[in-house]
Amino acid sequence: MSLELPKDRPWLFAAPMSGYSDTVFRKFTRNFGADLTFTEMISAEGIIYATNKTTKYLEFNESEKPLSVQLFTADPRAMKEAAKIVASMGFDFLDVNMGCPVRKVIKKGAGSKLLSNPQRSIAIVDAALMSGLPVSVKLRTGFEYADYEAIITLLEKFRNLGVKFATIHGRTAKQLFSHKADWSLITNIAKNVDMPVVGNGDIFTVQDAVEKFNPNLAGIAIARGAIANFELFSQTNDFLSNKEYREINLSERIDTFLSFLMEEIELRGEKKGIIYCRKQIMKLLKCVPDSSKLRAYICQIESYSNIRKILKNLKKKLA
């Protein structure tokens, strides 16, 4: 039986991120208050051919649940087959990627390119639904330009097929990450479609969530803002549930990050775990004034105890 999303308050999701949303990251986002986490996007064809890399992406622990597996493909038959496989693995939801703007993906007609091929996107959603899992979609506001009418029409079709919700990143595929996410467009879509819509884009602080969330939305999804900042979920959750939240300082984030790093090391081994987390260490230290030398230095370190020493010293300096 798949797990349900909250009925009494807005949803808070940890949006999928390739290269970040692994089993440890997902566990932390859940522990800090995300209602639903997603695997990074996984190729349906990769699942069918069970490549080593793909099999790794599918590993999860019960502590991450409810958990959604996100698949991408341009081929409805591949979706049908892959969806059947993931349904037998214990995922709670299946999310169809219609937002990825990366050339390698759109070249094949998958990801955000599906937005310019409604017939194919409908066939893919239909195939995903055959798995019996609750299905959701993640999309941008258009491929080349934001197309309110087309998105509404598409979402109505998805709703009629049985899709449970849509997460909308308020940019077009062409915009990549330029411009600001258009939350008024997301809200207008939410107002005019009979399906829960989760808004996504540019929530880096709880203040951003306060400004962007409105009751037309079923919830919000956070991606980049959660990197080395899992506390953003507890703060945002407190805001969405009680309209209040606690300020969190870098010292607390350092402690959380060290436990996260330790778990990544347990999963991958010391050297690989540290290398995997390097981007996240950089993100953690970005807000420390004059830290460019420290960041360059820490990038060379391959032992947990040394990273811990440096970060603990930093904590003392900040105190």
Ligand X SMILES: Cc1cc2nc3c(=O)[nH]c(=O)nc-3n(C[C@H](O)[C@H](O)[C@H](O)COP(=O)(O)O)c2cc1C
Nearer to ligand X, 276 or 314 (CB): 276
- String of contacts with ligand X for each residue 220-259, x by CB under 6 A: --xxxx----------------------------------
- Contact set for ligand X, span 150-179 (CB under 6 A): 169
Cα dihedral sign, 58-65-226-274: negative
Closer CB to ligand X, residue 14 or residue 311?
Answer: 14
In the list 18, 31, 116, 188, the residue contacting ligand X (rule: CB under 6 A) is: 18
By rule CB under 6 A, what count of residues binds ligand X?
A: 21
Binding mask 55-94 for ligand X (x = CB under 6 A): ---------------x------------------------
10, 13, 16, 239: residue in contact with ligand X (rule CB under 6 A): 16
Site string for ligand X, 92-121 (x = CB under 6 A): -----x-xx---------------------
Please select the residue that binds ligand X; options are 187, 200, 229, 235, rule is CB under 6 A. 200
- Contact residues toward ligand X (CB under 6 A) are 15-19, 40-41, 70, 97, 99-100, 138, 169, 200-203, 222-225
